Amino acid sequence: MLGSALIVVFRRSYPKSAVPHFDEIISDEVEFYCHVTVLVGKKMGRWWKVGFRPVTRAFPMLFRGTSDYGNPAVRVSEHWYVWEPNQPFRDVGCLTGELTKAEIGVVLNPDAIVNRIRRGVYDIFYPAYEPGQEPYA
């Protein structure tokens, strides 16, 4: 998405002093995945490189977007599209069933990702997909 990187955030957390083995990290359950500009997060001091290891595990990913994004008057969208990385968008209208598990597909700022890791939700405005659900704010 717009030349950004895809990152995967795993469920288990480690203390800063820990030195877990990379195989242990990537075998963990996935908490979420998102688009981000990694270098911006590094420059902001939100993360740092501790090593490199090619990852051969496949991570199924499904993203969602809406043409209503950016319009604060739309709290619940009925104009959704979904896609997998490197695949075309599919217009789906209302999100239902498994599609509701799709992650937001915009390029997120590093602070929004850190907030999701800490609090479980993003701190951005993004429309909800069903009535009664609060949009990200």
Domain borders along the chain are: 5-119
- DSSP reduced 3-state for 65: strand
The full DSSP string for 20-63 is: --HHHHHTSPEEEEEEE-HHHHHHTTS----------S-----E
Q: What is the pLDDT of residue 137?
A: 47
Which pLDDT tens digit goes with each residue over 46-79?
998 877 878 788 889 999 999 999 898 999 999 9
Cβ–Cβ under 8 Å, residues 35 and 1: yes
Give the 3-state secondary structure percentages of the chain, helix then strand then coil, rounded to 5.
20, 25, 55
Model confidence, pTM: 0.87
17 CB burial (10 A radius; 0-12, 13-18, 19+): exposed
Please report, for the chain, how many H helices and E strands are present, in that order. 3, 7
Rounded mean pLDDT for each run of 10 residues along the chain, 137 residues in total = 83 87 89 94 90 83 94 93 94 94 94 93 89 72
Q: What is the pLDDT of residue 43?
A: 95
Question: In whole angstroms, how far apart are CA 126 and each of 65, 76, 79, 131?
Answer: 9, 9, 13, 14
